Amino acid sequence: MSDKKELFDKIYNETKESTFKYITAKCHDLCDIDDIFQNTYMTVYRALKKRDREIENTEAFVILIAKRELFKYYGLISRLKSLARVDIAFESGEYRDEAAPDIEESAVNSAMLEDIGRQIKKYPLITQKILFLYYAKGYTLFETAQILGISESLVKKRLYCALEKLRRLYVKGE
């Protein structure tokens, strides 16, 4: 059993970055990335427990499982559920500013973040992914372009256009 765990740890460490990038590029909703990533490695672990022979190409093995997990996750039933799903990230309070010294200021900040989140949800999925990879995950413009398989200039254009839209919306709104 210990050998299987060590093998899993080795495979996870070797493939986690490329698998995360692949799932991010292929997902239909940013909220799904972590779930699909976790499901992928749970399936990898179960497959390793059953498997007796050596894996020749670990990255191809994990990416194949990730493809299957994406297919399962985005099956017809999952798509129907996602249409009715409430945006969990903002309802859970994940984006609330807990460091605000004043309750009123905190409420205003939370409301603004929720509103910004709703505005971002209106952007095309590729723009949402660019914002997610650049701001939430800290990838550079070049790395973001590589992950999504698009040019760096397109990443810059979409990022700056999205930020300019938000600026105009909130400067006028204030």
The domain spans of the chain are 2-81, 100-173
pTM for this model (two decimals): 0.58
CATH architecture of 2-81: Orthogonal Bundle (1.10)
For 100-173, the fitting CATH number among 3.40.605.10, 1.10.10.10, 1.10.3720.10, 3.40.50.720 is 1.10.10.10
C-beta neighbour count of 86 within 10 angstroms: 7
Residue 145: the pLDDT is 94
Give every residue of the chain whose pLDDT is below 70, as ranges: 1, 75-109, 172-174
CA distance 167 to 106: 20
Cβ-Cβ contacts under 8 Å for 48 (sequence gap 6 or more):
4, 7, 8, 11
Residue 113: the pLDDT is 73
